[in-house]
Structure 1
Amino acid sequence: MNNSNRRSFFKKSLVMAGAFSSGSLFNQLHAEDFEEKAKIYNDLSPEEMASNEDYWSLIQQAYPASSSPVLNLNNGGVSPSPKLVLDAVDRYDKMANMAPSYYMWRILDQGREPLRQKLADLGGCDPEEIGINRNATEALNSVIHGLDLNKGDEVIGSIQDYPNMMNAWKQRALREGIVYKQLSFDFPIEDDEHIVDMYRKAISPKTKIIHVTHVINWVGQIMPVKKICRMAHERGIEVIVDGAHSFGLLDFDIPDLEADYFGTSLHKYLSAPIGTGMMWIKKEHISKVWPLFCDQDPTRGDIRKFESLGTRSFPLEQGIGEAINFHNAIGRKRKEERARYLKNYWAEKAIKIPGVKLHTSLKPEYSCVIAGVSIDGMTPRELESTLLKTYKIHTSPVSFENIDVVRVSPHVYTKPSDLDRLVKALAELAAK
């Protein structure tokens, strides 16, 4: 094949088989099966579908992780991808390596705008408000470091926010003299007004920003973001939302949160390739936020100024597209209800075991898939280590501020039988 034919072939390959086309890998491999299952159970509500193991077995089969010898219950850290996402990244990585600077910047880069639109559709927002980057830390640090704040201006967050975001605010406080105030919550909390009131009481005339985590990383508490935003806006205060553990899991549109800024990782519950993320900035705020990385016009009102990262992995963007295809075929509400069902499946059994304590609400408005658990007489590190060494169950130990738990976070590929294995392990350890 000569060079001209090779270029023509790869261009046609991208158009015909790219994640943003009718020839996507999802359409080739899964669309027909998903449609057939959907027709069979068309009359079932998302809540009813949550426990339908025939349907979810189809999803499980698409994930190589479902057959791993180590049971992965730390999807809140990084989620594995379905095979078609891995295949898409591999396909376009091989293409790029034929002539990297050509295929990346002249061929694969054509997928950026279709991806932006696809992410906007998923988030229920304007594509001109979506920036594509590598993770929630990068997205939110772009905002945290990009806002003009003066010495003495106050920011309110909490000690249960994600460390990378807290450290970004602490760095600004250390270097520029802003005041970073942190609340402390005793989760679980099943009272929205109590949470909102804590933020309200911390506000002073110097408060400029409230930073809130949508789903608390450590124990899965869902925070009343919309209520916090409304309260803050009544006082002329802007709100930054860390959506790392909510986007791709909970059924919501980003603008409905009524926040000003939102950042997320796509390699968690969306199951996109590792090292992918997204930011959302309300359109009227874009021009006033300085990009974290240099741009030729840092004050322009174009969201793309936050994407000046230099060389990046274009094949990952095709993988994001295929992850969205897979996610959309399941459906947002159906996915959320399945995830919550899996959490409740093991947690409702575990809380009946003497010596086992749950640190997460079981009410649907306050939690979804992530939960914290502990056993009397065992530290989180001891429990996590024993679960892994003795039972081949991978979780995440958390000893942070006032939280001492092992975090358990299944995913839609997790089988109830896997969670029976967890419950059995907890019962045996608690009995010792």
Structure 2
Amino acid sequence: MSTLSKRQFLKSVVGATSLATVNGPNLTELLASVAHVPATTLAQQEEFWGQIRTAFPVTTEFIQLENGYYSLAAKPVLDKYLQHIQQVNAVSSYYMRTRQFDDKRVAKTQLANLLGCSADELIITRNTTESLDTVIAGIDWKAGDEAVMAEQDYGAMLDMFRLQSRRHGTVNRVVSLPNHPQSDAELVSLYEKAITPKTRLLMVCHMVNITGQIMPIRQIVEMAHKHNVEVMVDGAHAFGQLNFALPDLGGCDYYASSLHKWLGAPLGAGILYVRKDKIAGLWPLFADSSVADDDIRKLNHTGTHPVATDLAIQDAIQFHEGIGIERKEARLRYLQRYWTDRVRHRPNIVLNTPEVPARSCAIANVGIAQKKPAELAKLLFDNYKIFTVAINSPAVRGVRVTPHLYTTTTELDTFVQALTKLAG
């Protein structure tokens, strides 16, 4: 081991990811061949996306339409991830003591470049829940302080706000989002009416996880800041799916996402962005006396954890950038519109996702009159081998449908036929 330099070891552990697959086309050549094709045109070319599908280990046991929880890592990424596990394991504590933090900074610098922020404003976490909980629990709440959120927000986040209410005596003001808003102004006004002089934090989804609705984040942030209210954005489904950068969002104070959803990293990776001037005001969940109060690393004292996941983030980014975010967003929106446009106005079928194309991307939610969401999800799987997830809340009753780049229109044809038959 003494003959192995740190530079050599780094090269062996985080070598470049090839976009060529073992049993598929050379994706580098494939992507070069369509470099001149506009993203919206390419989105409809099934032959091209059929070749992209070969880069993913897609199951043949059922039609996977619940990719929003955790999507497949591409074969090149998965192969590198397994190599990282083996190579780190081979030298164990040597890697942990000499390389892990340097390598993690490389990954978070690449992520910061994608997000459009400084690496000193971002940490790598395990998921969106951990990231947002770090903020919610880190604020120095006082009795009577208020937070604004929506009932359509992710349940774990609502639970965390309830916990602060129990512990500190805070007040949670909950709005309900319309599934089919008439304008951005309607949504902004809804949040603004919930703000009072006691409001300290507003949480909003970049993309609502149960319906796929894309929220007007910039307008909401600018409105909230006029009232001196901080804004925390749940970007669990936006990062890696939508073409944006943080400056586009109007200067939000906090942003979080999961990397094992639309970026395609292995399970168990997320990010948290904290605007530089907000770092010092957050209390860390786990103490680390070696880090200054205004250093974001104080929020990232995770102890020993699976570092192979951190290493594979770089591989996932390379694959993601190889395809290109414009192509990804265009294809994902096309797939959603492909099936929703065919069922939206059919009898007994209820779409809980906005009809305006710009208000959604891959995710949509559909229900059938007189059928409970759990019943619909079970019928789809038992009778048609289509996997979705049931959503049953006061404002949204249906199944969430999340195709991915490896989803085919033929699979969506099967889904449409199943919905039509089940709807009578």
* TM-score bracket relative to the smaller structure: over 0.9
Q: Residue 279 of structure 1 aligns with which residue?
A: 272
Secondary structure at the counterpart of residue 26 of structure 2? helix
List per-residue Cα deviations over 1:89-129 (Å, max 9, x = no partner): 21111122224222233234431111011101111111111
Identify which of 324, 328, 332 aligns with 2:321: 328
Q: What is the distance in 2 between the residues matched to 1:345 and 1:28? A: 29
Higher helix share goes to which structure?
Answer: 1
* 1:165 Cα deviation after fit: 0.8
Matches within 5 A, 1:263-302: 263-296=256-289, 300-302=293-295
Q: Residue 375 of structure 1 aligns with which residue?
A: 368
- Shift of the 15–190 alpha-carbon distance from structure 1 to 2, 3 Å rule, reads farther
TM-score by structure 2 length? 0.95
Q: What is the distance in 2 between the residues matched to 1:46 and 1:353? A: 30
* 1:288 Cα deviation after fit: 1.2
Q: Residue 12 of structure 1 aligns with which residue?
A: 8
Asked if structure 1 preserves the Cα contact closer than 8 Å seen for 2:64 and 2:387, the reply is: yes
Q: Residue 45 of structure 2 aligns with which residue?
A: 52
Q: Residue 227 of structure 1 aligns with which residue?
A: 219
Q: Residue 213 of structure 1 aligns with which residue?
A: 205
Q: What is the distance in 1 between the residues matched to 2:21 and 2:7? A: 21
Structure 2 stretches of 5 or more lacking a match? none
* 1:287 Cα deviation after fit: 1.3
Asked if structure 2 preserves the Cα contact closer than 8 Å seen for 1:153 and 1:207, the reply is: yes
**RMSD across aligned positions (CA):** 2.0
TM-score by structure 1 length? 0.93
Asked if structure 2 preserves the Cα contact closer than 8 Å seen for 1:141 and 1:292, the reply is: no
Q: What is the distance in 1 between the residues matched to 2:369 and 2:227? A: 44
Secondary structure at the counterpart of residue 244 of structure 2? coil
* 1:192 Cα deviation after fit: 0.7
List per-residue Cα deviations over 1:239-278 (Å, max 9, x = no partner): 0000001111001002321210001111111111111100
Q: Residue 348 of structure 2 aligns with which residue?
A: 355
List per-residue Cα deviations over 1:346-370 (Å, max 9, x = no partner): 1111225432221111322211111
Counterpart amino acid of 2:157? M
Counterpart amino acid of 2:276? K
Q: What is the distance in 2 between the residues matched to 1:233 and 1:217? A: 24
Q: What is the distance in 2 between the residues matched to 1:203 and 1:241? A: 16
Poorly superposed stretches of 4+, deviation over 4 Å: 27-30
2:244 is the counterpart of 1:244: no
What percent of counterpart residues are identical? 38
Q: What is the distance in 1 between the residues matched to 2:9 and 2:290? A: 35
Q: What is the distance in 2 between the residues matched to 1:196 and 1:86? A: 41
Asked if structure 2 preserves the Cα contact closer than 8 Å seen for 1:289 and 1:299, the reply is: no
* 1:235 Cα deviation after fit: 1.4
Asked if structure 1 preserves the Cα contact closer than 8 Å seen for 2:19 and 2:319, the reply is: no
* 1:312 Cα deviation after fit: 0.8
Q: What is the distance in 1 between the residues matched to 2:342 and 2:152? A: 27
List per-residue Cα deviations over 1:182-232 (Å, max 9, x = no partner): 001231224110110011111111111111111111111111111000001
Q: What is the distance in 1 between the residues matched to 2:87 and 2:37? A: 42
- Shift of the 190–341 alpha-carbon distance from structure 1 to 2, 3 Å rule, reads farther
2:92 is the counterpart of 1:100: yes
Q: Residue 32 of structure 2 aligns with which residue?
A: 39
Matches within 5 A, 1:417-428: 417-428=410-421
Asked if structure 1 preserves the Cα contact closer than 8 Å seen for 2:13 and 2:88, the reply is: no
Farther off after superposition, 287-296 or 92-101: 92-101
Q: What is the distance in 1 between the residues matched to 2:54 and 2:10? A: 26
List per-residue Cα deviations over 1:42-67 (Å, max 9, x = no partner): 332211111122322232111102x4
Q: What is the distance in 2 between the residues matched to 1:43 and 1:95? A: 39
2:245 is the counterpart of 1:253: yes
Asked if structure 2 preserves the Cα contact closer than 8 Å seen for 1:144 and 1:168, the reply is: yes
Q: Residue 304 of structure 1 aligns with which residue?
A: 297
Secondary structure at the counterpart of residue 74 of structure 1? coil
Q: What is the distance in 1 between the residues matched to 2:338 and 2:48? A: 17
Q: Residue 416 of structure 1 aligns with which residue?
A: 409
2:193 is the counterpart of 1:193: no
Counterpart amino acid of 2:123? G
Q: What is the distance in 2 between the residues matched to 1:105 and 1:342? A: 46
Q: Residue 170 of structure 1 aligns with which residue?
A: 162
Q: What is the distance in 1 between the residues matched to 2:122 and 2:60? A: 35
Q: Residue 131 of structure 2 aligns with which residue?
A: 139
* 1:374 Cα deviation after fit: 1.0
Count of aligned residue pairs for this structure pair:
422
2:201 is the counterpart of 1:204: no
Q: What is the distance in 2 between the residues matched to 1:113 and 1:137? A: 22
- Shift of the 195–87 alpha-carbon distance from structure 1 to 2, 3 Å rule, reads same
* 1:177 Cα deviation after fit: 0.8
Asked if structure 2 preserves the Cα contact closer than 8 Å seen for 1:11 and 1:107, the reply is: no
Secondary structure at the counterpart of residue 374 of structure 1? strand
- Shift of the 106–380 alpha-carbon distance from structure 1 to 2, 3 Å rule, reads same
Farther off after superposition, 348-357 or 155-164: 348-357
Q: What is the distance in 2 between the residues matched to 1:414 and 1:13? A: 38
List per-residue Cα deviations over 1:395-426 (Å, max 9, x = no partner): 00000232111110111111111111111111
Matches within 5 A, 1:387-398: 387-398=380-391
- Shift of the 353–271 alpha-carbon distance from structure 1 to 2, 3 Å rule, reads same
- Shift of the 331–158 alpha-carbon distance from structure 1 to 2, 3 Å rule, reads same
